[in-house]
Amino acid sequence: MIEGELSRSVQRWCAGATGVTGAAKLSGGASQETWRFDITHPDGPIGAILRRSPKGYGAAPTRAAGLAAEAQLMQLAFEAGVPSPRVMHVLTPDEDLGTGFIMQRVEGETIARKILRDEEFAAARPHLARQIGGVLAGLHRLPQDKLPELRSRSATQEISEFERDYRSLNWPKPVFELALRWLRDHDPGPSVETTLVHGDFRNGNLIIGADGVRAVLDWELAHLGDPMEDLGWVCVNSWRFGEIDKPVGGFGSRVELFAGYEAAGRKVDPSRVKFWEVMGTLRWGIMCGGMMQRFREGPDHSMERAMIGRRASETEIDLLRLLAPRGG
């Protein structure tokens, strides 16, 4: 049982800890798992989260930064005052827990629909778009000399990569072709400035409380690139969960997002943001196709995976709304 290994681990690095209770798996694919548990401590229980690749699943997929990099980024963000959980411990091989890290558990909500509808978040909602701008500005300002080794991608390389992914699906989609052409025609070229890019900053990967953003999660797609990518991705319609007139995660307007970003002393390039929003919409559509592929080829033959293939058309209508809007 994982509680045995976790108990031995916490007693080594958490002064006064005597063991753990309540270990429960929150999510997990074949290669990566998230567990919650409480550290038993004389001052009261300490809420914690384990992110790990179980033994034998050390290699990260090509786009992923890897768990060690994720731990380092979260810790850097925490130290810089970007809402982030504190990293408590990075796993070592002799603990028999695989590779990964243990972090402080931040209470709050990640389920987008609840954040957008529940009374509990009503007071926070109107401020979230602007606040997210400030959080992204902080994130893009993390000191580059302290960052772990990360992949670096220009817009041009990203277009080619998505085109390759799309072609490998052998799934002819005229709307995706149109989007690929548009992206090539509107490629903004190298960014004047290269920064850390979170890569998956959106409604669903943020812990939100009644007071606003409490933590930024899921740094596994972090890389170096155009900071405007994060501003575009957070506006992709798929993360508005029905609140389609509020582009920033269903919370608020681009104007508020940009104001929050610029108030924190950084500059917005709205045409680049739009480019990355189109790119992001296509990216999610191609990912839907990839999940359908994995359903067909196994091992994940689940109904949920199959149905995600039927969500690619959502991104097609959103691409048309962006590239060929109808009047009125």
Partner 1 sequence: MQDEPTPIELTKAVADFLRNDITPLITGHQAFKLRVAINILDLVTRQLTQEEGRDASEVERLRALLGMDGSVTELNRALAERIAKGEVDLATPGLAEHLWATTMDKLAVDQPNYASYKRELSRGG
φ/ψ (deg, to 5) at 248: -80, 85
129 backbone φψ class: left, alpha, beta (φ>0; ψ -120 to 50): alpha
Rounded CA-CA distance 111/116 in Å is 9
The closest alpha carbon to 68, from 52, 44, 86, 46, belongs to 52
Helix (H) or strand (E) holding 90: strand 87-90
Contact (Cβ atoms closer than 8 angstroms) between residue 9 and residue 97:
yes
Least Cβ distance, residue 240 to partner 1 (angstroms): 8
Does position 303 interact with partner 1 (CB under 8 A)? The reply is: yes
Pick between residue 67 and residue 180 the one whose CB is nearest to partner 1: 180
Phi and psi, residue 305, nearest 5° = -60, -40
- Residue nearer to partner 1 on the CB measure, 145 or 326: 326
Instruction: Identify the sign of the CA torsion 17, 20, 22, 23.
Output: positive
**Cα distance between residue 147 and residue 145, in whole Å:** 6
Q: Which is nearer to partner 1, 61 or 174 (CB)?
A: 174
Quick one: which segment of 9-17, 61-69, 268-276, 319-327 binds partner 1 (CB under 8 A)?
319-327
Q: Can residue 326 be called a binding residue for partner 1 (CB under 8 A)? A: yes
* Residue 304 interacts with partner 1 (CB under 8 A): yes or no: yes
Q: Is 242 in the site for partner 1 (CB under 8 A)?
A: yes
- Residue from the set 17, 69, 106, 175 that interacts with partner 1 by CB under 8 A: 175
310 contributes a contact to partner 1 by CB under 8 A: yes
Residue 314 binding partner 1, by CB under 8 A: yes
* Residue 311 found at the interface with partner 1 (CB under 8 A): yes
Interface region with partner 1, contact rule CB under 8 A, candidates 7-15, 115-123, 219-227, 236-244? 236-244
91/191 Cα distance (integer angstroms): 36
Enumerate binding residues for partner 1 (CB under 8 A): 172-178, 180-181, 237, 240, 242-244, 303-304, 306-307, 310-311, 313-314, 316-318, 320-321, 323-324, 326, 328
